[in-house]
């Protein structure tokens, strides 16, 4: 995992696929039988998108392909149905968690089919109705699913045109689509989709080679369409998983360990069992209760006495020393066991810079932080005749189905997971803890059970963004050219570790550690930490050399797309103008998941009380062709605000294996008052494929703010969060 390379011959091996995207290979394959589908959906036209080999592999690493015969099970990426009444339904395994993909996917389908967005119904993230999908993460919806749906819809359009051509005994080329109909512009003849599909039972499969409309010609995609089901959200009508209710449903509470790694020694359940209408379940360390109302479940839980053997007395005080220990030590607690790169410090660079060059060596750290999605984990589970249905908020419905199958020893075919549009995830909802817990209790109770994690449970028993330690050694010539770059990352991960800057000698390595806490995906993964380290370090070098930080970056940057956003942000921000007293400006840039971002920030530091306020930020972002400018802007703004939390004050504190701040009253998240003036510059590149945008815009804000603080008061902060309380000047 360590690479020393010479940029002259640019031989990069992938640093490593991100290890903290939690997933495991799926168990079963969706059998696609067209007759079955048309039986369920009724007649009309059904188009299925077949994954090609590489797409299938990406969905399901390391597994062989199924056969591609007409009758057998195939890997389907998405399907689209046009009913005999003209209703258009699209089926995708992706989940809506606030990134507004229900809207953007609707737009691209409407675009290809020449219909209004309101005519398209998106069926999402339902393991019974939608094709298998690995999960909604890694900013893959726009580059993958959106592309697939465009092709699927384009194929549907072609079939409809064929049907009309046959009826009119004319040639296909003469016809166009408009307003849900095929039209012959010469004769003015018009046939609606519903009429064309009436009495039909047509199926067709398509692949990635189907031609689609060019983004430059978009009229529905590329526009700022409002959230398609927005009205349901402003009226409270939308039902999240936590809002679901079923007849006879019970409410659950779980017995939780007092600290991480504690083991249940004994438990006294009699008092809870004696309570009327209370279901108590114990299976090993799993102890839960269900009752007709939440307070009753809480009372039953309070009546349970348990004795625990404490786990290791871990504390955040020693976090960064803990992380320097390699993963293959005994007692490894989180992440993945992997000693491949352990102890390979010898691989780091032994640079021999010219005399007179500037050399710098610094360490940067980042604490664990929590996603704290405003909707905590929640699930409603219901069994009927040995079959289980679970409604839950997750980014991985099919993964949760596998978790349920394994935990409950039920075949996946008997489990249905449905994900209502969810109260956000940010990478924090890849797992199905609440689903499994609710399903266990529901099975024992013989009634539907709902479980909503408390905020404290969400803070404690979900997983965190990995903490990390990053060592950087560098050198640069007097002219401001990097000559050597060595970056060693302990635990936070490989995303964004590779430097976009040219340097004659480079070495980067990621060293997995024994993570004291459970860790996993988080918006942009390790890219935030790696960019914080790199972009802070670049700023330090620029100051040491006496070169403007913007100029210093540009001098060492070859990537045109990155240069473009950097220059766009600097221009819009007014980089180079002197800041007022007590204020400072900083910038940072980077690339992640196909998105290019640069952020400039202005901060005000109150020397009296050490308060830091971020006054304004300008973020330039480019992710290829823009599908929905306003939603893209919304994502960029949201990422910057969320990034401010991790930059300035968010940190999980733990002591004796217990979280010390598992509540919003103790864990500070960004609020109205923390929000700077947010300027966003979208760089549209219709000539490039659209990339996802939920993650990349978060990576540049922390270093931009850190660099601005340095510019304001001359204090260099190398640890995230930078200002948990106040700045010591």
| Nearest to ligand FES of 98, 662 (CB atom) | 98
Q: Which stretch binds another protein (CB under 8 A): 260-268, 355-363, 496-504, 638-646?
A: 638-646
Which of 226, 270, 271, 302: binder of another protein (CB under 8 A)? Answer: 226
Write the binding mask 388 to 417 for another protein: x where contact by CB under 8 A, - elsewhere. ------------------------------
Would you say 424 and 375 are in contact if contact means Cβ atoms under 8 Å apart? yes
56 makes contact, choosing from another protein, ligand FES, none, with CB < 5 to 8 Å by partner type, with none
Please list every residue from 493 through 512 that binds another protein, using CB under 8 A: none
Specify the residue, 163 or 627, whose C-beta has the smaller distance to another protein. 627
User: Scanning residues 561 to 600, which ones bind another protein (CB under 8 A)?
Assistant: none
Cis (ω within 30 of 0) for the bond into 721?
Answer: yes
Q: Which of 642, 659, 705, 717 binds another protein (CB under 8 A)?
A: 642
Q: Min. distance of Cβ 96 from ligand FES in angstroms?
A: 12
Determine the size of the site formed for ligand FES (CB under 6 A).
3
416-475 residues near another protein, rule: CB under 8 A: 421-424, 426, 452, 454-455
Q: Would you state the torsion angle of the CA atoms of residues 71, 72, 78, 82, taken in this order, to the nearest 10 degrees?
A: 20
CA distances from 133 to 147, 193, 250, 451 (A): 15, 29, 31, 25
Toward another protein, which CB reaches closer, 70 or 665?
665
Interface with ligand FES, residue 424, by CB under 6 A: yes
Q: Which of residues 358-417 bind ligand FES (CB under 6 A)?
A: 374
User: Buried b vs exposed e over 482-511: b needs ≥16 C-beta within 10 Å?
Assistant: bbbbbbbbbbbbbbbbbbbbbbbbbbbbbb
SS3 track for 237-259: CCCCHHHCCCCCCEEEEECCCCC
The residue sitting closest to ligand FES, measured at its beta carbon, is 374
Q: Which residue, chain included where needed, has tokens 């057998």? A: 72
Q: Which member of 239, 387, 558, 726 binds another protein (CB under 8 A)?
A: 239
Residue 176 lies near ligand FES (rule: CB under 6 A): no
In 3-state terms the chain splits into helix, strand, coil percentages (rounded to 5) of 30, 25, 45
Per-residue x/- mask for another protein, residues 69 to 108, rule CB under 8 A?
----------------------------xxxx--------
Minimum CB separation of residue 47 from another protein in Å reads 30
Report the partner that residue 639 touches, choosing among ligand FES, another protein, none (CB closer than 5 to 8 A by kind): another protein
Q: Which residues contact 395 (CB under 8 A, 6 or more apart)?
A: 95, 97, 135, 136, 137, 422, 425, 427, 429, 430
| Residue 690: DSSP 8-state | -
- Taking contact as CB under 8 A, which single stretch among the options 242-250, 281-289, 439-447, 581-589 is the one that binds another protein? 242-250
User: Which two structure tokens, joined as six digits, stand for 394?
Assistant: 């997750």
Q: Label residue 286 exposed, middle or buried (CB < 10 Å: 0-12, 13-18, 19+).
A: middle
Residues 403 and 397: their CA atoms lie apart, in Å, by 10
Selected binder of ligand FES within 86, 93, 98, 366 (CB under 6 A): 98
**Distance (Å, rounded) from C-alpha 393 to C-alpha 43?**
32
Closest CA to 471 of 368, 364, 367, 318: 364
Question: Which residues of the shown chain bind another protein in the complex (CB under 8 A)?
Answer: 97-100, 224, 226-227, 230-231, 233-240, 242-243, 245, 251, 293-295, 372-376, 421-424, 426, 452, 454-455, 630-631, 634-635, 637-642, 663-665, 669-673, 675, 677-678
Question: Which residues of the shown chain bind ligand FES in the complex (CB under 6 A)?
Answer: 98, 374, 424
């Amino acid at each position: 995992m360590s690479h020393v390379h010479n940029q002259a011959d640019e031989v990069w091996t992938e640093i490593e696929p991100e290890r903290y995207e939690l997933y495991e290979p799926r168990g079963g394959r969706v059998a696609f039988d067209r007759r079955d589908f048309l039986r369920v959906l009724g007649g009309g036209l059904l188009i299925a998108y077949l994954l090609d080999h590489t797409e299938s592999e990406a969905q399901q690493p390391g597994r062989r392909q199924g056969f591609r015969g007409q009758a057998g099970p195939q890997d389907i990426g998405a399907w689209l149905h046009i009913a005999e009444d003209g209703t258009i339904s699209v089926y995708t395994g992706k989940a809506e968690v606030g990134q507004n993909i229900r809207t953007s996917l609707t737009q691209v389908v409407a675009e290809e089919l020449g219909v209004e967005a309101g005519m398209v119904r998106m069926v999402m993230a339902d393991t019974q109705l939608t094709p298998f999908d690995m999960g909604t993460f890694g900013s893959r919806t726009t580059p993958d699913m959106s592309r697939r749906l465009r092709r699927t819809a384009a194929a549907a359009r072609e079939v409809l045109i064929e049907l009309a051509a046959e009826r009119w005994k004319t040639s296909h080329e003469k016809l166009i689509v408009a307003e849900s109909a095929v039209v012959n512009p010469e004769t003015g003849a018009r046939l609606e989709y519903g009429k064309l599909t009436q009495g039909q039972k047509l199926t067709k499969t398509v692949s990635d080679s189907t031609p689609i409309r060019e983004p430059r010609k978009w009229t529905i995609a590329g526009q700022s369409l409002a959230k398609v089901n927005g009205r349901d959200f402003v009226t409270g009508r939308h039902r999240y998983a936590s809002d679901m209710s079923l007849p006879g449903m019970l409410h659950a509470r779980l017995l939780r360990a007092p600290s991480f790694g504690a083991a249940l020694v004994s438990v006294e359940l009699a008092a809870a069992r004696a309570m009327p209408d209370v279901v108590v379940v114990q299976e090993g360390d799993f102890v839960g209760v269900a009752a007709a109302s939440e307070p009753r479940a809480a009372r039953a839980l309070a009546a349970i006495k348990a004795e625990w053997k404490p786990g290791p007395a871990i504390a955040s005080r020693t976090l960064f020393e803990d992380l320097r220990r390699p993963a293959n030590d005994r007692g490894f607690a989180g992440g993945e066991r992997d000693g491949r790169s352990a102890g390979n410090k010898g691989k780091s660079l032994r640079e021999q810079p010219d005399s007179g060059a500037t050399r710098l060596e610094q360490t940067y750290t980042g604490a664990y932080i929590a996603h704290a999605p405003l909707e905590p984990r929640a699930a409603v589970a219901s069994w009927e005749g040995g079959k289980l249905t679970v409604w839950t908020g997750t980014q991985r419905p099919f993964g949760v189905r596998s978790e349920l199958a394994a935990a409950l020893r039920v075949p996946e075919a008997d489990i249905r997971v449905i994900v209502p549009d969810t109260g956000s995830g940010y990478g924090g909802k890849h797992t199905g803890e609440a689903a499994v817990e609710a399903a266990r209790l529901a099975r024992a109770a013989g009634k539907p059970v709902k479980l909503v994690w408390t905020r404290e449970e969400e803070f404690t028993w979900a997983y965190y963004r990995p903490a990390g330690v990053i060592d950087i050694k560098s050198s640069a010539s007097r002219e401001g050219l990097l000559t050597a770059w060595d970056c060693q990352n302990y635990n936070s991960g490989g995303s964004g570790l590779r430097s976009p800057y040219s340097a004659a000698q480079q070495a980067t390595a990621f060293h997995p550690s024994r993570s004291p806490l459970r860790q996993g995906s988080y918006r942009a993964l390790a890219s935030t930490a790696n960019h914080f380290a790199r972009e802070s370090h670049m700023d330090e070098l620029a100051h040491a050399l006496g070169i403007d930080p913007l100029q210093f970056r540009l001098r060492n940057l070859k990537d045109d797309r990155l240069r473009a956003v950097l220059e766009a942000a600097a221009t819009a921000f007014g980089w180079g103008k002197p800041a007022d007293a007590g204020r400072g400006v900083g910038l940072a840039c980077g690339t992640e998941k196909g998105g290019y971002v640069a952020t400039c920030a202005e901060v005000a530091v109150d020397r009296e009380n050490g308060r830091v306020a971020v006054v304004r930020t300008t973020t330039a972002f480019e992710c290829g062709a823009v599908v929905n400018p306003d939603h893209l802007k919304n994502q960029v703004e949201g990422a910057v605000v969320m990034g401010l939390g991790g930059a300035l004050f968010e940190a999980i504190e733990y002591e004796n294996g217990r979280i010390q701040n598992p509540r919003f009253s103790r864990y500070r998240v960004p609020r109205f008052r923390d929000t700077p003036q947010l300027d966003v510059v979208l760089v549209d590149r219709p000539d490039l494929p659209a990339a996802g945008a939920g993650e990349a815009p978060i990576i540049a804000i922390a270093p931009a703010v850190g660099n601005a603080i340095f510019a304001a008061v001359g204090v260099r902060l190398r640890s995230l969060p930078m200002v948990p309380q106040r700045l010591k000047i």
